[in-house]
Structures are given as structure tokens and as C-alpha cells.
Amino acid sequence: MTQQSTVDAYLDTHPDTKAVIEKVLLNAPDVTGDELIDKHLAPMMDGIFELITEQIAPQNLSVQQAELYIKELSVFARYNAQFLRRAAASVEGACFELAHEFRRNHLEEGGERGHIPAHYTLYSGALLADLGLRVNGHVPAPETLTLLTLHDLLVEGSSASTICGGYYATEGVAINETVLLRSITDRYGELTVGAPSAQLPALDYYYQLHLDEEHEAAAGDGLSVEAAHIEGIATFIRNRDLYHLDLPQILDGFLQILEGMARWWGELTVRAHSLP
């Protein structure tokens, strides 16, 4: 018997959101972009990550389990800048403004000359400097390859709306995912070097870079780097008519990636439980 997905489990306990999503997918939406984001999609991503965090229980992980999560999560960071660049190229003919947003994010993630280096370089270097943990060259598990494939197919697609929705899911979980990753890293640090990430300078800088609204890299309008990325993509859903984007395709892309990420976390958890 196939186990129910985390997304379906959430929707079964939130019938209003389930009804809205089904109406949109049937091309009969009765919701504004603001309502869809603020009342349904954003709370949905938060609720799903609460379930994921409970399942992982970072405070109870062994060294081997924490290392598994850290290494597998590093893989998407390795390729995200490439995905953003390709997404920009795919949508520029249909929505140049969306392409501009992807390129802006690509420069932040990939490292803009004269500014902060590539985020993956910062992260992998911080793990090596503070924890002696090398993630460079890590060969991903099959479930991580599946997630990468879903993103690869997304960014090469011909629908700007689908790509927009998929990247709203990717960016929309980024704060929750970074907070969870920091908790996992804290556990690994406490077990190996006797210190959480807040006491490890390179890792603390990396996490503050993404989460701190006052960081030098923050957007400057009260938003952290990750929050600015989320709202940057959300703007196109909130104003879909202005940008000539199709809501059913937006939601389809959103669900493709959200389901993929939720399943990825679930399969990583199963793999982690097999370790001592």
C-alpha cells in the first residue's frame, strides 16, 4: 500500500485549502493572488515543514544521521545557481520581469563579482572550516537525484507559469528549510566539536546571511535574503494578470516541486533511520 504523501495529509486536514486548490486546477478559481498566497500556499508550506521537522527530530540525531542530512542538503545548494540561470533563460520570452528576478537570485546564489561569494562556496567552506566536514564531491542518494531531476525538468520547460509556481515552492520553503538545516548542523556540531553553529564563526555567518534581516546582504526593506527571494517570486503570483501568467499552471508547478521536496525529506528520514 502506498503511503499518503505529506502534502495530501496536510490537505485532508485543511479542507478549505484543498477546495481552493482543486478549483484552481479545474480552471475555476475564485481566489485572488494575495488570498492564494497568504491564506493557503504560505500556511501550507509552513504546516508541511512543521510535520517534516517533527519527523526528523534534529535534537535526537546521531552523528551519522546528521551528517547524512547535511551532505544531501548540500547537493541542491551546489546546483541552485545553475537552475536559476536556466529558469531565467526559459521564461525571458514570455515574462522578462520574471527572468530578471531569476537572474537577480542567480547572481546572489552564484556569487556576483565584487560582492558576496557564491553561497555554496560559503557553505561548503564553513562546514570544512568549523566542523572538518567536507561535502564537496559528495555523490547524492537516489532520492536527492530525483529531486534534482524534477528541478531540471522544471527549468527546461516551456511554461513561464509552471516555472514560476515551481520556484515559489522552492523559495517558499527556504526559510523553514534553512532553520531546520541549522538545527541539524547544531546537533552535529554539539556531538563533534562541542559547539552549535552560533559559536562557529563561518557557519554562523552563513546562516545569518540567509536569515538575518539586518545582514549586509539583506534586501534593505526589512526582508532577509531568503524572505526577499520568497516575496520576489510571490509578486508574480499576486499579480498574475499583469504578467499574463496562468494560475492553474502556476499551481501545477508549485505542487510538482512541493510534493517532490516533501517526498525527498520523507525518504531521507527513512534512510537516516537505517543508520546507527
Helix, strand, coil percentages, rounded to 5, for the chain: 75, 0, 25
Tens digit of pLDDT for each residue in 166-222? 999 999 999 999 999 999 999 999 999 999 999 999 999 999 887 865 545 445 465
Tens digit of pLDDT for each residue in 9-55? 999 999 999 999 999 999 998 899 999 999 999 999 999 999 999 99
State how far the Cα of 58 lies from the Cα of 66, in Å rounded to an integer.
8
Domain membership flag for residue 1: no
CA angle 87, 252, 73 (to 5 degrees): 60
State how far the Cα of 168 lies from the Cα of 172, in Å rounded to an integer.
5
User: For the chain, what is the domain count?
Assistant: 1
State how far the Cα of 65 lies from the Cα of 76, in Å rounded to an integer.
18
- Report CA torsion sign: 65, 66, 71, 75: positive
Per-residue pLDDT, 222? 57
Q: Please, which pLDDT band fits residue 116 given cuts at 50, 70 and 90?
A: confident
DSSP codes, 94-131:
T-HHHHHHHHHHHHHHH--TTSSPPHHHHHHHHHHHHH
Domain membership flag for residue 258: yes
The residue segments making up the domain with residue 162 are: 6-273
Tens digit of pLDDT for each residue in 45-84? 999 999 999 999 999 999 999 999 999 999 999 999 999 9
Domain membership flag for residue 61: yes
State how far the Cα of 276 lies from the Cα of 109, in Å rounded to an integer.
34
Stated pTM of the model: 0.92
CATH of the domain at 232: 1.20.910.10
Domain membership flag for residue 143: yes
Give the chain's count of helices (H) and strands (E): 13, 0
Domain membership flag for residue 185: yes
Cell of 149: 531531476
Domain membership flag for residue 259: yes
